[in-house]
Amino acid sequence: MPFYTASKNTFEVGGKEFPRITWYKEPGIRGLYVLLMLAVLTSATNGYDGSMMNGLQTLQEWKDSFNDPGPSTRGLLNAIMSVGSIVALPITPYIADIAGRRVGVMTGCIIMVIGVVLQSIGANIAMFIAARFLIGFGVAIAHGAAPLLIAELVHPQHRAIFTTIYNSTWYLGSIVAAWLTYGTNKIPSAWSWRVPSMVQAAPSIIQLIAIWLVPESPRYLISRGHNEKALHVLATAHAHGNIDDELVQIEYHEIRETITLEKEFEGNGWLQLFKTKGNRHRLVILISLGFFSQWSGNGLVSYYIGDVLKGIGITKSKEQLEINGILQIVNFAVALGMCFMIDKFGRRPLFLVATGGMLVSFCAWTICAARFHMTEVKSAANAEIAFIFIYYVFYNCAWSGLLVGYAVEILPYKLRAKGLTLMFLAVDLSLFFNSYVNPVALKALGWKYYIVYDVWLAFELLIVYLFYIETQNTALEEIVKYFDGEDALLGGNLATDKARTLLVENGIDTKLPITTEHHEVGENEEKRTAV
């Protein structure tokens, strides 16, 4: 496993070390990060939906408005959003790659606002279902562009932090929805559910107003031939507008040479994801990220916490909403805190600890549920609630933030949008399963259904151990070498040599002597140094 040898006060780009910066002391970076929080709102919108639907299903006014839907209908109401996302996925990467990352976010937001309007009107169950289909369609398009914009704009020192913050803000939306539905629970009319539904449009409206203040991705600009504009974006964002800054020049040349090489030697079609050993390795990680992030038992609580709590005797709507609201606050605190630990502990260790902890805590959760079913002892119910919280602490050590952050960074530019789309396809397929199957299975099997997830979590731990690699402290364009080898066409020594030739042909003086030396550190460890 590779590890970084530079001082903790430096970071590495293009084989050269730079002193670390404090983002809030740098006006350009500070302004950029404030703007990038607008892109982060896409994930918050998604989180709002899950918690809102959880809350609505506990509201009597919502049940009365739609004739108290049964498990199958409630499953469809939740699953149809995933169907909308799945339908949108084939066009999502093309919008991001051809029209741009910002256009992708804008397009998704417009569709989501239309969906929320129809959902809030909700004259009948058919309209509610159609509205949620549109919301899912829009979420997929915005979700397929926003994390790319973030990863490709953020300062290299902060990439891991910011990309993990993106998906962690799922809980920010979830908190707002959980406590808003708790408050509107007291409204004795259909407004008790219409108000939370209307508020769901707020993040999208904010993004539509302000997304054009966010710079376009320099990688996208270079891929479309707008090199000078990309250089100025990098300079403004990372170096107070100084285009001659050494970091900016290295970033610019590295991005340009990588994209040039990809166009020269690599395909960018869907089949490219299957053609090489390195890409097949990426594919295993992407598919497992999508399924494991949703198929780990968390889907039971995300949309059906009411059914889970009913199984241990907690039937009052007020109590269910309180537990859900507190859980979302804990989730957000842990997930946000872990964003700042990614580069300290590394991706692979966090995935292993998170998945192992989830397995142990979910088994304990299952035992407590079985105990309550047999004895109806209150202490067993309390213990189950405690283990639900413990389970989520472990889940948020990795799976909430790194779901998007890890997926984005392991993909080369030309496959980044398509690979992320494929990961989201796995997410949406698993969400569809969770939404439609979980309420039916819980009603039919009760606590015994939890055993399925106990076994599945053990399988997840094995896959993570075998396939998830470390990418700690590596520039975005250089991560490719861990999948394709040091002599890979893109990212390794050969890429550097090829790039120099191409850059000379294009009249670019790189001034980037990059060499990677290997030393025996341990049985299976590789040491990375820059000279």
| DSSP line for 375-409 | H--HHHHHHHHHHHHHHHHHHTTTTTTHHHHHHHH
Q: Which residue has the tokens 């094995």?
A: 462
Average pLDDT, the chain: 84
| Per-residue pLDDT reduced to its tens digit, 224-261 | 999 999 999 999 999 989 999 999 999 998 888 888 87
Of residues 167, 270, 233, the one with CA closest to residue 31: 233
Of residues 495 and 73, which shows the higher confidence score? 73
Using the predicted structure, report yes or no on whether residue 444 has a pLDDT greater than 70.
yes
Between CA 387 and CA 236 the distance in angstroms is 47
Which two three-digit tokens encode residue 300?
Answer: 């039971």
Mean pLDDT of 142-151: 91
Which domains are assigned to the chain? 21-214+267-478 (1.20.1250.20)
Confidence category of residue 527, pLDDT binned at 50, 70, 90: very low
Using the predicted structure, report yes or no on whether residue 57 has a pLDDT greater than 50.
yes
Spell out the residues 6+ positions from residue 134 whose beta carbon is closer than 8 angstroms to its own.
Answer: 84, 111, 112, 114, 115, 118
> What is the pTM assigned to this prediction?
0.78
Spell out the residues 6+ positions from residue 248 whose beta carbon is closer than 8 angstroms to its own.
Answer: 231, 234, 235, 238, 239, 242
| Per-residue pLDDT reduced to its tens digit, 486-504 | 655 554 444 455 545 554 5
Residue type, 336: L
Beta bridge partners, 262, equal none
Which range among 72-76, 353-357, 366-370, 441-445 has the greatest average pLDDT? 353-357
Using the predicted structure, report yes or no on whether residue 6 has a pLDDT greater than 50.
no
| Per-residue pLDDT reduced to its tens digit, 349-367 | 999 999 999 999 999 999 9
Look at residue 488 in the predicted model and tell me its pLDDT: 57
| Per-residue pLDDT reduced to its tens digit, 322-341 | 888 899 899 999 999 999 99
Mean pLDDT of 40-47: 86
Mean pLDDT of 366-386: 91
Residue 264, CB-side half-sphere exposure with 13 Å CA sphere = 14
C-alpha Rg value of the chain to the nearest Å: 24
Mean pLDDT of 258-272: 72
- Long-range contacts of the stretch 195-200 (C-beta < 8 A, 24+): 196/52, 196/55, 196/56, 197/52, 197/56, 197/116, 197/119, 197/120, 197/122, 198/116, 198/120, 199/48, 200/45, 200/48, 200/49, 200/52, 200/116, 200/119, 200/135
Which range among 230-239, 480-489, 518-527 has the greatest average pLDDT? 230-239
Look at residue 219 in the predicted model and tell me its pLDDT: 92
Of residues 491 and 191, which shows the higher confidence score? 191
